[in-house]
Amino acid sequence: MPVRDPHDPRLVDSFGRVASDLRVSLTDRCNLRCSYCMPAEGLDWLAKPDVLSDDEIVRLMRIAVEQLGVTEVRFTGGEPLIRPGIVGIVEATAALRPRPQVSLTTNGIGLARIAPALATAGLDRVNVSLDTLDRERFHQITRRDRLPDVLAGMAAAAAAGLTPVKVNAVLLRGINDHDALPLLDFCLAHGYELRIIEQMPLDAQHSWDRAVMMTAEEILAQLRTGHTLSPDPVARGASPAETWLVDGGPARVGVIGSVTRAFCGSCDRTRLTADGQIRNCLFAREESDLRAALRTGATDEELAGRWRLAMWGKLPGHGINDPSFLQPARPMSAIGG
């Protein structure tokens, strides 16, 4: 059994991985209802007092950056743009030293209005989720007729310099399973970078079915009907996306084969939920409660120590492909995707 080196300040786990990329969920609430994420009626949202305050979040990020070696912070949710203090949180994050990379994953609603303020506050770039360019299908998948807002949000992000704008898409068989190529052509035309993600068993309704999931293999085959894809010479590192040069480059496209091409061995993520729990994996079934410690007077050193301990116990893989796999209790929207 390996033993943690007490002199290593970083977020290492017992398999030797080091987490330096922090995903912070700012809220579990959302203004869309994507069918692969949550039910039409929404979920039982976290009670307001249970959600970390802006100051509590910033304190934990400062500890992560100054004491634990975190170099990258990505805000997510739920929908992070509906958090009222988002601009101030971004500003405080960008002021940390050493300055982390600061990015945001959003559904794009409201981005057209807030992109300039986010850029001024120090946000480096955004990932915008978009599963189809067809307005009817967008409405069907997200249960809201908001496609024009998302497109306007992407354009505003690019204009504000939040680049490269990356576009995240999930393909659902029988719904938008032929949208890979139109999405790629749209991204090529606008200078955005497309990432297609295999659907994961993280929806609140537990409706994920491996047998109907669109696989990375199928997605690539579809993309290749319209373009030549060649291996990206840039090393993948800890990125979950396998990337390809499109028609010789420089444009790229990525496929995130979370299920069929798992990348757990090089994972460098650590996660903070909106209610102050550390998760060492999207699929973790255990969490470590920093909020209680934070609210009962723990010092920065004590909080850092708890965080290190939480990461040490990270499992080698997500286990989706094991017959004994159990979905985590929290759905994606409450973890922070």
Binding footprint of ligand SAM, residue count (CB under 6 A): 20
- Which residue, chain included where needed, has tokens 């990125």? 239
Residue closest to ligand SAM, measured at CB: 337
**Binder of residue 76, out of ligand SF4, ligand SAM, none (CB less than 5 to 8 A by kind):** ligand SAM
Nearer to ligand SF4, 129 or 258 (CB): 129
If one asks whether residue 36 binds ligand SAM (CB under 6 A), the answer comes out as yes
Nearer to ligand SAM, 170 or 278 (CB): 170
Binding to ligand SF4 (CB under 6 A): which residues in 9-38? Answer: 30, 32-34, 37-38
Separation CA 210–CA 265 (nearest Å): 22
Binding to ligand SAM (CB under 6 A): which residues in 45-64? Answer: none
Q: Decide if 87 contacts 117 (C-beta within 8 A).
A: yes
DSSP 107: -
Q: Is-cis flag, bond preceding 164, omega within 30? A: yes
Nearer to ligand SAM, 203 or 268 (CB): 203
Q: Is-cis flag, bond preceding 49, omega within 30? A: no
Among 12, 19, 22, 37, binds ligand SAM (CB under 6 A): 37
Give residue 25's region: left, alpha or beta (phi > 0; psi -120 to 50): beta
Residue 305: CB minimum distance to ligand SAM, A: 29
Nearer to ligand SAM, 93 or 199 (CB): 199
Nearer to ligand SAM, 13 or 203 (CB): 203
β-pair type (72-76, 101-106): parallel
Separation CA 7–CA 302 (nearest Å): 15
If one asks whether residue 108 binds ligand SF4 (CB under 6 A), the answer comes out as no
**Binder of residue 38, out of ligand SAM, ligand SF4, none (CB less than 5 to 8 A by kind):** ligand SF4
Separation CA 278–CA 286 (nearest Å): 9
If one asks whether residue 184 binds ligand SAM (CB under 6 A), the answer comes out as no
Binding residues for ligand SAM, rule: CB under 6 A, are 30, 36-37, 76-77, 79, 105-107, 129, 168, 170, 197, 199-200, 202-203, 332-333, 337
Binding residues for ligand SF4, rule: CB under 6 A, are 30, 32-34, 37-38, 77-79, 107, 129, 333
